[in-house]
A and B are shown apart, each in its own frame.
Chain A
Amino acid sequence: MRTVKHVTCPVCGCLCDDLELTIKDEKVVKVKNGCALCKAKFLGYSKHRVLKPLVRKNGRFFEVSYEEAVSRAAEILTEANYPLLYGWSMTSCEAVSAGIELAEEIGGVIDTTSTLCHGPSTLGIQDVGISSATLGQVRHRADLIVYWGSNPLIAHPRHMERYTIFRKGRFQKEKRKLIVVDVRKTETAETADIFLQIKPNMDYEVLQALRALIRDQELDVDEVAGIPTERLEEIADTMVECRFGALFFGSGLTMTRGKNRNIDAVLSLVSDLNKLTKFIAMPMRGHFNVTGADMILTWQTGYPYAVDFSLGYPRYNPGETSAVDILLREESDAALVVASDPVASLPRKAAEHLAENPLIVVDPHMSATARMADVVLPSTFVGIESGGTAYRMDHVPLPLKKIVEPPEGILSDEEILRIILSEVKRKKAEQMENP
């Protein structure tokens, strides 16, 4: 029995780094400080593993060596004209870095799961900017917390405990006020001081109404999205009167009608509020390293997701170069999926085209996507069996630890991608010599 302290949790964007794990016979047997999602992962991750590389021949999987699987993967990627490299939100920054180099080498498109959740947040930020802060700033200073279209008690269980409502801060004088805006009464809404239940798909209207109200404009309507105007006025006053407000938004805002326009509106509202008080906004990023994938793509290519290398330099045009759109147009002719299960999350038509592509999956699990694959490369669980770096939702980088040994012979995402990359380079050099 041994314990490992200060472990970073590889589940959600909160990236809590205060876990204490008890290890017995190279298995995690006890998790201290973790939430239910965290415990479920650490105690149950080892189920449904793939432990041998698989290659599909005549419609059936055959167990092969890494060498053979990598060689087949490299062949698929080298022969492709427009390969798609997708996923990246549940692995280390180091693996993403290798993935970008691979995408560049083969002239492919690299896109992350941002495209399905907070892609619109990025577009909103590119339109109007974002007034933001690290979570500790919120903890020390905020007296008003707003969750909009997000349900942290379920999706980010320790967010309120560690960063917003329940954590004591240096300048905190009294209990912080909590506003929840959602289309249904969520678990988080149950705990709110003020709950605003708005009509579905009308977030944009409410946000713009609030923008008008904080500028002391009068609304000539009695209600907006089912909320009486007087009540909105109260909310606007509460926002203006706080000393430090923090608004967190989730996919309830990014993936409903209006999408990036909703984000334009929410970020503009928060920006406007800074004329009157201090206010920050933050997207509630889901997967534990989706922020890191965005970050690395941005510093290596200039763009955060949906990066197309088919012309030899990075191009970015979400709607054109984003995974869903490429798949719907049936343009990709091969795909590599890393640390993600798009068959379970993409629109059906897109998933169908993905399955039709020669498909390589790097994943510790036999995921739905892996079942459709032509090559499956089993990998370690990042943050449990291999280390690296991940980014919290507020862009704070934290170390991921290797806590237990991986099953014998299993490589990490990063290692697998590096050997695919060198195999691709070797094959290309070979082709150059014998065209």
Chain B
Amino acid sequence: MKMELIIRNGFVFDPINGVKGEKMDIAVRDGKIVERVNERKALEIDASGMLVMPGGVDIHCHIAGSEVNAGRLLRPEDHFKYSERKTATTRSGSGHSVPSTFTTGYRYSRMGYTTIMNPAMPPLMAKHTHKELNDTPMVDKGSFPLLGDWWFVLEHLSNGRIEECARYVAWLMTSTKGYAVKIVNPGGVEAWGFGHNVHSLDEQVPNFNITPREIIRGLCKVNKLLNLPHTIHVHTNNLGKPGNYTTTLETMKCVEDLAADDKPVIHITHCQFSAFKGSDWKTLRSGAEEIARYVNNHSHVTLDMGQVVFTDTTTMTADAPFQYTLHELTGSKWTNQDVETETSVGIVPFRYRRKSYVHAMQWSIGLELALLIKDPWKIFLTTDHPNAGPFTAYPRIISWLMSRRAREATMKKINRRAQSKSLLPSITRELDFYEIAVMTRAGQAKALGLKDKGHLGVGADADIAVYKINPEELDPSRDYKIVRKAFRRAAYTVKGGEIVARNGEILKHVKGATLWLKVKTSQQTKVNEDLKRRFRDYWTVEYENYPVSENSLDISHPINVEAKI
């Protein structure tokens, strides 16, 4: 099938290829960007007076898997008011902060997003995650297995066996069809198995002769040995606790010496939650300045925001001890699910209120981080969906980043004390469309090592978003509401070369591919044999029944990775 498409006359923002709003045509054939197409035959999109960007990429959003589904189950009250009707092209669904799978795909597509990363997959539950991802249409997707508290990792690293550890990680990555190494509150999650936690990088993990620092450093080395496209993806220790910005600084510092060639070696995710200064909730202050200063002076770190929006939402993380604290703090209902040998998950409903000092400070901290970190290639736009708010709030966040007025309008409505402590009034920076394109697609694709995503160069996947914004006429600082509206409903979303959404209407239900790493190491057979022998000591399922088979993925997109070992 030869599908040709040409997008004419748009203002193109393609940061990876250095295109900054120039008027040009984008040609598409068979799902890829090409030099030119037969202009008489090709389907034409007239993008005059509009923005053209690569499709949005989300590096961190909890949209699928056992923890997300436990959240859906826990919260019928989240769904009642947010139902989506079946149409001729779309399936029905429901949900605000934890939408059902089909609905999730449609909502991303309406905003012009085409690739998303599901950042917390309990390996034992990988089959579940992938089943949900199969049912999440319109986007390509990947998943990060939770590895920071896996017993094999703890055992190998505590004995200094980095190479062995790497081979086991390779096995797990391929078996679970994962995309990156996820570390959540390293050591703390294992401690939670008996209801405990760890509180610093150098605290001994109970029952294992290892510290969080050793886990992070060890997996960072493993990640390099395996040549994985993304860095380690880290949810810090002490997340959500006042004073934790020092833990975050230490976490970034602890892998400083492992960096080379100015390349990132660590991604600190939803950094807002890990940028608190102060000794308790009353004295909470922003640690954004200190973190931004560090990040501005180092090149081995990328971050994402975890921006708070004021709404009702559902918090869910593998940091189950933190979720329990949140349950005690709020009195809200609480679900916990520990996963043998590997990890855990906790879920608590939550409402971010403008008039709460702490919540308002959190709102401010996220934006401060994004604005104080000078290089947009280092910090990406996320809400840690649904932890700090649902992904449907991205257009609102874009408007805050692009407009001081938008920030001031919200600032006026928040808690008075937070107004006086916020650093935002002193920040004049307003991002432009180029920087937004970096933070919402190009930078994320680059950090993920997705070579065919996040740009519009020849050979790239034809995932494209067109927004009804004329950057020559519109001043985003003043007209932030128009910006918000335009990003909420892309004029066109093109996925794999097809127009799948137009002005917020889904035209075609398409399945996206599942991106996963096929990691090749030497001596893999020995590792497999060893795992097979020891499997029953660790899990309650059989070795043979553990892996996710490739044919269970509706559209499988393996990425071959040659490890150094």
Contacts and interface: CB of A to CB of B under 8 A. Distances in A.
Interface of A: 5-6, 8, 17-18, 93, 97, 101, 104, 122, 125-137, 139-141, 162-163, 167, 170-171, 243-244, 271, 274-275, 277-278, 280, 294-296, 298-304, 309, 311-316, 389, 391, 395-399
B124 interface: yes
Contacts of B544: 5-6
9 contacts: A134-B540, A136-B124, A139-B540, A141-B193, A163-B540, A299-B135, A312-B85, A398-B127, A398-B545
B211 interface: no
Contacts of B249: none
Given A312-B92, A314-B94, A395-B128, A298 B72 contact: yes
A133 B91 contact: no
B194 A395 contact: no
Contact of B73 (A141, A163, A298): A298
Contacts of A141: 193-194
Given A8-B545, A126-B73, A133-B339, 10 more contacts: A104-B91, A129-B348, A131-B334, A134-B540, A141-B194, A171-B207, A274-B336, A302-B98, A311-B85, A312-B92
A314 B334 contact: no
Nearest to A396: B124
A243 B206 CA distance: 14
A101 B93 CA distance: 12
Nearest to A277: B195
B100 A302 contact: yes
B338 interface: yes
Interface of A is mostly: mixed
A399 B127 CA distance: 9
Contact of B76 (A104, A126, A395): A126
Interface string B249-293: 000000000000000000000000000000000000000000000
Contacts of A311: 85
B391 to A, nearest CB: 16
Contacts of B207: 171
Nearest to A105: B86
Nearest to A132: B337
B73 A304 contact: yes
B337 A395 contact: yes
B542 interface: yes
A129 B333 contact: yes
Given A128-B333, A302-B79, A17 B542 contact: yes
Contact of A93 (B98, B131, B193, B549): B131
B95 interface: yes
Contacts of B549: 399
B313 to A, nearest CB: 15
B149 interface: no
A309 B338 contact: no
A369 B326 CA distance: 48
B115 interface: no
Contacts of A170: 537
B93 A314 contact: yes
Contacts of B539: 136
Nearest to B128: A397
B347 A313 contact: no
B125 interface: yes
B435 interface: no
A312 B98 CA distance: 20
| Nearest 6 pairs of A and B residues by beta carbon | A136-B340, A278-B195, A133-B338, A302-B94, A129-B333, A302-B79
B74 A134 contact: no
A172 to B, nearest CB: 12
Interface of B: 64, 66, 68-70, 72-76, 78-79, 83-86, 91-95, 98-102, 124-125, 127-128, 131-132, 135, 193-195, 207, 324, 327-328, 333-341, 344, 347-348, 537-545, 549, 552
Nearest to B126: A397
Nearest to A268: B333
A389 B128 CA distance: 9
B333 to A, nearest CB: 4
Contacts of B86: 104, 309, 312-313
A151 to B, nearest CB: 21
Nearest to B73: A298
A315 B344 CA distance: 31
A396 B339 CA distance: 9
Contact of A300 (B101, B341, B344, B545): B101
Contacts of A275: 328
B489 to A, nearest CB: 20
B347 A129 contact: yes
Given A6-B545, A126-B74, A134-B540, A395 B125 contact: yes
B85 A129 contact: no
Contacts of A397: 125, 127-128, 131
A241 to B, nearest CB: 13
B176 to A, nearest CB: 12
A314 B93 CA distance: 6
A278 B197 CA distance: 12
Nearest to B79: A302
Among A131, A134, A170, the one with the most B-chain Cβ atoms within 10 Å of its Cβ is A134
Nearest to A244: B194
A51 to B, nearest CB: 30
A124 B156 CA distance: 41
A132 B194 contact: no
Contacts of A316: 76, 79
B59 to A, nearest CB: 22
A313 B84 contact: yes
B560 to A, nearest CB: 25
Among B73, B128, B543, the one with the most A-chain Cβ atoms within 10 Å of its Cβ is B73
B335 A131 contact: yes
Contacts of A8: 545
A18 B541 CA distance: 8
A311 B85 CA distance: 8
A295 B128 CA distance: 9
A301 B100 contact: yes
A133 B341 CA distance: 11
